[in-house]
Structures are given as structure tokens and as C-alpha cells.
């Protein structure tokens, strides 16, 4: 719940209304979890008197999180943009470093489609334009290429590692091992080649 007021006196009135309503309905606001934020202006500074909720002074903060977004006292979006940047970085790293082995083609296709749709949205392209053409235009790997490169990179690093435990694993990376069978299936899967071939048949337009 957020109270927005043009002045401290107006805020006192709204808090008083909330306190009376809560008391009439057997409720009580948690003062420890309530905060006060004063939006700054460029040319004026304000000395804010204590604002109390249930007799407890509210802590004044420079920013707070509301409905998943950060609201800043300077009315700038920098903090919220940083939150989105970090979230995007986490999800992108997880996608680039994921090495799934046991999954259905339906789950793979759904994630691949979402990857393509994200690029279409960022580039302002039609939803059904060719993903292959779109990614080739901006020289970005397709989802299938990312998965194949991740697997190949893992095997390369395991085989080249000086770690004795990883050397033991590398020694078992023969043709009959589960990891190698999966790696081969990803690189040679007919379903993947078929999906990419059909995708290339759709026209690409900016």
C-alpha cells in the first residue's frame, strides 16, 4: 500500500484515516515494515518533521521496492534499470551455460521459440518472421548453436583440465559414454535440423 501526498500535513491526514480504519476493523499497520520517501526537487530542500504510524516514527529511505520495481527519491530510473540489467545477466548466463541432457523436444522447442521471440521483440520485427534470417542479419548464434557450443566447450575444457578428477572423467569420454552419446545426438539430431530448415523457409523482413 502506498500513500502519495503533496505535503506532510496531507500525509498526516491520510495516515490518520488509515489508522482509524484499521482500528475499526481489528487491524494494525506494521510500523517496522513501513517507510517514508520524500521526492526531491532540483532547487529546494526540505526538512521533514517526524511522520508517525501508530505512534512510531517512520524510517526515511532514499528508495523502496513496490510491485517488483524500485522507486527512487530523485525520480530517476537508474536503480530499476540496474535491477533489470542484473536479472537479464543472470538469465542470459544460465541459458549460455546450461547443459541439459534429459528433456523432451516440446520443452526444447518452447525455450528455443521464446529465445527467438525475445530477439524479435527487441528488434521490433514481426512475430512470425524468419528467426534464422534475423539472427544471421545481426550475426548472433541461434539457440541450437548456443547449446551445441556449450556442450563442445565443456568437453574441451574437461579434456584440457589439469585437475586429476576431471582427467578421470575425460578418460571415460569415449564413444560409448553417456555424455558423448548425448553430445553426438545434439549435433546430429534430425529434429533440430528439421526445425532449423523449416524456420529458414519463412520470409525475413525488417
Torsion-angle region of 145 (φ positive above 0: left; ψ -120 to 50: alpha; else: beta): alpha
pLDDT (tens, 9 = 90+) of the chain, 206 residues, equals 899 999 889 999 999 999 999 999 999 899 889 999 998 887 777 788 889 999 899 999 988 888 888 888 888 888 888 888 888 888 877 776 666 667 787 887 888 888 888 888 888 888 778 887 888 777 888 877 877 787 788 888 888 899 988 888 888 777 677 777 777 776 665 444 444 444 444 444 44
pTM over 0.85: no
Taking Cα atoms as reference points, which of 187, 180, 107 lies closest to residue 148?
187
Backbone angles phi, psi at 149, to 5 degrees: -65, -35
Q: What DSSP designation does 5 have?
A: -
Torsion-angle region of 66 (φ positive above 0: left; ψ -120 to 50: alpha; else: beta): beta
Amino acid at each position: 500500500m502506498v500513500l502519495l501526498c503533496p505535503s506532510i500535513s496531507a500525509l498526516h491526514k491520510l495516515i490518520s484515516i488509515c489508522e482509524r480504519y484499521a482500528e475499526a476493523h481489528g487491524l494494525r499497520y506494521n510500523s517496522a515494515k513501513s517507510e517514508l520517501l520524500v521526492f526531491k526537487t532540483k532547487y529546494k530542500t526540505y526538512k521533514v518533521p517526524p511522520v508517525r504510524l501508530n505512534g512510531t516514527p517512520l524510517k526515511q529511505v532514499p528508495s523502496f521496492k513496490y510491485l517488483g520495481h524500485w522507486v527512487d527519491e530523485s525520480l530517476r530510473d537508474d536503480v530499476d534499470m540496474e535491477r533489470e540489467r542484473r536479472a537479464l545477466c543472470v538469465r542470459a548466463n544460465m541459458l549460455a551455460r546450461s547443459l541439459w541432457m534429459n528433456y523432451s523436444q516440446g520443452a526444447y522447442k518452447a525455450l528455443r521459440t521464446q529465445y527467438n521471440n525475445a530477439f524479435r521483440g527487441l528488434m521490433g520485427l514481426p512475430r512470425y518472421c524468419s528467426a534464422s534470417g534475423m539472427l544471421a542479419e545481426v550475426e548472433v548464434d541461434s539457440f541450437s548453436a548456443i547449446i551445441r557450443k556449450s556442450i563442445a566447450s565443456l568437453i574441451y575444457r574437461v579434456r584440457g583440465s589439469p585437475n586429476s578428477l576431471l582427467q578421470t572423467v575425460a578418460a571415460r569420454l569415449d564413444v560409448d559414454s553417456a555424455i558423448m552419446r548425448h553430445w553426438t545426438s545434439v549435433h546430429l539430431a534430425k529434429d533440430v535440423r528439421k526445425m532449423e530448415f523449416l524456420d529458414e523457409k519463412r520470409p525475413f523482413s525488417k
